[in-house]
Structure 1
Amino acid sequence: MVGELGASWGDVARVVVTTVGIYTALVVLIRVVGQRSLASMSGFDVGCVVALGAILGRTALLESPTLLIGVVALVTFFAMQGVLGVLRQDRRFDRLVNRPPVLLVDDGEVLTDALRRAHVSPDELRQRLRLAGVRRLDEVASVVLERNGAVSVLRRGSDVDPWILADVAAARGTRG
């Protein structure tokens, strides 16, 4: 049956191994580059994602993809996503794969070292604050770059429960 669909069992095995390898490389690269790579995308970023998808797809599908090879690669990608979802329930594995949230503003003061390490420019931070309706920096208790690349703005007013910030990397470096 496999041969009738334009692939051999060896092709299927190579697609699975290649897809697992390219998916693992993608996860490692996102871990190295950081969650900033997942934040809202500019036109340039969208172009990079399209190119990345083409590279991932061509790599997973080998040189001459057939319907069966495409289905095997797709199933393998989804299986890897499912396996990672299960593994991420283990706190140690999750911390290995994902960076913790990063504190960018603490008590109304910008943490410039944290911005630099998170690859967030002051202009991007200002944009996020404006989008959150912030008019003055002293309105802000904390700004956190979340694991998914989103930016959370916690306003002053009432005390923030320490549990809410328990997983945030307290990079209290240079302020400015």
Structure 2
Amino acid sequence: MWWQNLGISPLEALWVVLSAIGIYAAFFVLIRTAGQRALASWSTLDKAIVIAFGSVLGRVVLGYTPTLAAGVVALTTMFVLFRLEAVLRRTRRGAYFSSKPILLMAGDQVRPAGLKAARIVEDELYFKLRQAGIRNFSEVALAVLEPTGDVSVLRRGELIDPVLLRRIEDRDDIPAHLLMPD
């Protein structure tokens, strides 16, 4: 048969697809469980671990003896799943697929509840503030852990449009003098 020349049978291709779907789902659940912090900032060790994860995941998806055809099937499946997730994010139930921003600082006040929810310690927040060029807390209007894992630091000086804060659950804790009137 023609698929024997490709090095993969239809049944093996089905197993690659199912393995790719399983790994994608497991990765999705694990990242959601670990929280946005898992994506925030990576040390050298974190990067090495990600490379090792990629190797292990590739073996799981492709099977014992990887072939070009199995790789193409796995890659295509992952891209289809990625695209499907993007389409689902635009639906009414898309909120299940993305995290909400977490308020870490409101004005010059560090929010311990936000740090706890984000699984970030104060020293990591201070690092992000320094990266943003903050010299003291009085310069901060907001610090937010974004769904991407990045920390956004907004400086004082210009009023903040409340529309930019619409997915932040604790936005009522933001001092009114930092916000544009509705």
1:161 corresponds in structure 2 to 161
Query: Secondary structure of 1:2's match?
Result: helix
What residue is the counterpart of 1:67 in the other structure?
68
TM-score (norm 1): 0.92
| Partner Cα distance (2:163, 2:155) in 1 | 16
Cα distance between partner residues in 1 of 2:39 and 2:69: 31
Q: Hey, what does 2:100 align to over in structure 1? A: 100
List gaps (5 residues or longer) in structure 2: 174-182
Answer 1 or 2: higher relative contact order, Cα 8 Å, separation at least 6.
1
- Residue equivalent to 2:81: 80
RMSD over aligned Cα atoms: 1.6
Map of 1:27 onto structure 2: 28
SS at match of 2:81: helix
- Alignment coverage as a number of residue pairs: 172
Deviations 1:13-54 (CA, angstroms, capped at 9, x unpaired)? 110011011111111111111111112210111022112211
> 1:108·1:140 contact (CA, 8 Å) conserved in 2?
yes
- The corresponding residue for 2:6 is 5
Partner Cα distance (1:91, 1:119) in 2 = 28
Corresponding residue of 2:151: 151
Matched-pair contact (CA < 8 Å) for 2:8–2:70: yes
TM-score with structure 2 setting the length: 0.89
Q: Greater CA deviation, 36-45 or 102-111?
A: 36-45
Q: CA deviation at 1:108?
A: 1.2
Q: Write the distance in 1 (CA, Å) between the matches of 2:47 and 2:92.
A: 31
Q: Which amino acid aligns with 2:109?
A: E
Q: Specify the alignment match of 2:179 in structure 1.
A: none
C-alpha distance in 2 between matches for 1:110 and 1:47: 32
Q: Which residue number in structure 2 is paired with residue 36 of structure 1?
A: 37
Counterpart CA distance in 1 for 2:23 and 2:80 is 13
Structure 2 CA distance for partners of 1:64 and 1:172, relative to 1, 3 Å: farther
